[in-house]
Chain A
Amino acid sequence: MTSQADPADAQASAGAISIRGLSKTFGALKVLDDINCTIGEAEFVSTLGPSGCGKSTILRIIAGLVEPDAGAELRLLGEPFGGQSDQVGVVFQTHNMLPWLTVEKNIRLNCEVRGVARAEITRRVEEILPVLKLEGFREKYPHQISGGMKQRAALGQTLIAQPKVLLLDEPFGALDALTRDQLNVELLRLWQKIRKTVVLITHSISEAIFLSDRVLVMSDRPSRVVSDVRIDLPRPRDPKATREDPRFGQYVTQLSALMGVH
């Protein structure tokens, strides 16, 4: 449950993401120091850690946007990887909508760039808009919709390409607590439907527990994975029942202690 070693190591060679000996240095700044972890297929994993410890950097490395230091062994769906892959979708903290395109066109963009056939893109859009509750806003421009809608649209921008692995970097971090809770419930419902591998970065302990199968806790720079906590709460998770589950409180206490919050 704790410690650097990954308990799922043995059977995890077939994991969605496998990271061995990952370090990253920016100039003189050592950000990541020998990160090891394996994330199983269709697993929902959250990452907690102090600000600036390199959580976003890990995500960027998995997404192929940043080069790791030499010596890392990275595998995506069993294949060694370098560079960005069609199998991976990322949602960042700031939404990535182009201000000159409508919601629908923004969502289509990803697939258009990848050369998916028009009819197929349209089919996917029709499927995804209701799920994201954006049907009535498809013709709106980003500045005409709320922050929560923008983040849902950002999710759509990524999901439209049907990635096998979804990387979420504080996707709702810029929103107020209420909207954020609401979007988390929606995200959970969505995930229960599509069952993709998800790596979520968050600053919220309760958000991490509520959503995840596992929570990885990272240390301060140069950072390592200091613990790997399995969240044994029944699924599908109902927001109210989950929060009232006594184990929820225990996890909050455990993770707070690990992160040095008391």
Chain B
Amino acid sequence: MSELFSRLRLPEILFFGLIALCWEMASEWFGIRPYLLPSLSSVLAALWNNAGELYRHSIVTLNEVVVGYLWAVAGGLALGLAIHTVPLARRTVYPLIVLFQGLPKVALAPLMVIWFGYGLTSKVLMAFLFAFFPVVIGMLGGLESVPSHLREHFDAIGASRWTRFWRLQMPAALPSIVDACKTAMPLAVIGAIVGEFVGAEGGLGYVILSANASARSDLLFAALVVISILSTLLYLVVELLGRKVWWRGV
């Protein structure tokens, strides 16, 4: 984060400044109606005036995202490992989840609400469904990326399966796992918001829907801003955790 800011130089400031300016002046310069694209200042005002409410709804969404994401990471790693180690799982579970991945998961949201109601569970499941697949693939690809000469080395020194897993396969898979976890993070946010669109009593997706219904496009944009900040912050957390467990030296 600090690195991000310390690197900011004139070209970057000009670039983002210009975007902000165009946004602010959109209605005057390009004749875009404010209810279609409210000015930056009115969005900031909406953020300020509804801070308490947006905060409350952010917590709802954050909860859904984090719980769904953690299940997706835990489940994805476990399933990736299972597919890698159990030949039967590779022939049965693996094709199943690949098939399942082909479904538009957005279309599953109504089903989740029918099955699990308007509460937390259906959103957690949506976040999980969006984030799960990349983690499985990342784990699987990582475990398969172990070079054969290193495998042979572990054979030669008589390593047990346990040693091999913890000292060879997992470290070798880590870069791929970390990448998968980074990819999955924003997907979990999308999943939760989609879940909220279909039926919810709270959350930022709910705020967007109700702002839309009452033609409050400034609040709608404020909610969008909060979502993207939330998503970015979560991504940075995963990125920092990823750097802790793995350096990209090679």
Contact = CB atoms under 8 A, between A and B. Distances in A.
B53 interface: no
Contact of A65 (B152, B174, B246): B152
A144 B247 CA distance: 14
Contacts of B174: 100
A84 B154 CA distance: 11
Interface in A142-166: 143-144, 157, 161
B157 A161 contact: yes
Contacts, number: 47
Q: Which of B156, B167, B168, B250 has the most CB of A within 10 A?
A: B156
Nearest to A85: B158
Contacts of A216: none
A78 interface: no
A96 B155 contact: no
B191 to A, nearest CB: 32
A114 to B, nearest CB: 7
A114 B149 CA distance: 19
B152 A98 contact: no
A143 B249 CA distance: 8
Contact of A113 (B150, B167, B171): B167
A109 B156 contact: no
A110 interface: yes
Contacts of B155: 65, 84
Interface in A166-202: none
Interface stretch (A24-32, A86-94, A231-239): A86-94
Nearest to A94: B149
B153 A92 contact: yes
Contacts of B156: 63, 65, 84, 89-90
Interface in A62-92: 63, 65, 84, 86, 89-90, 92
A52 interface: no
B249 A113 contact: no
Contacts of B160: 113
Given A110-B157, A113-B159, A96 B249 contact: no
A110 B168 CA distance: 12
B179 to A, nearest CB: 16
Nearest to B168: A98
B171 A98 contact: yes
B152 A99 contact: no
A141 interface: yes
A96 B158 contact: no
Nearest to B153: A96
Contacts of B153: 92, 96, 157
A114 B163 CA distance: 10
A157 B153 CA distance: 10
Contact of A99 (B154, B163, B167, B250): B250
A161 B156 CA distance: 12
A84 B249 CA distance: 33
A99 B147 CA distance: 11
B158 A109 contact: no
Contacts of A109: 157, 167
Given A109-B157, A113-B157, 11 more contacts: A65-B152, A96-B149, A96-B150, A96-B153, A98-B150, A99-B250, A100-B247, A113-B154, A113-B158, A113-B163, A157-B153
12 contacts: A84-B155, A86-B158, A90-B156, A92-B152, A96-B152, A98-B150, A98-B167, A100-B171, A100-B246, A109-B157, A109-B167, A143-B249
Interface of B: 149-150, 152-160, 163, 167-168, 171, 174, 246-247, 249-250
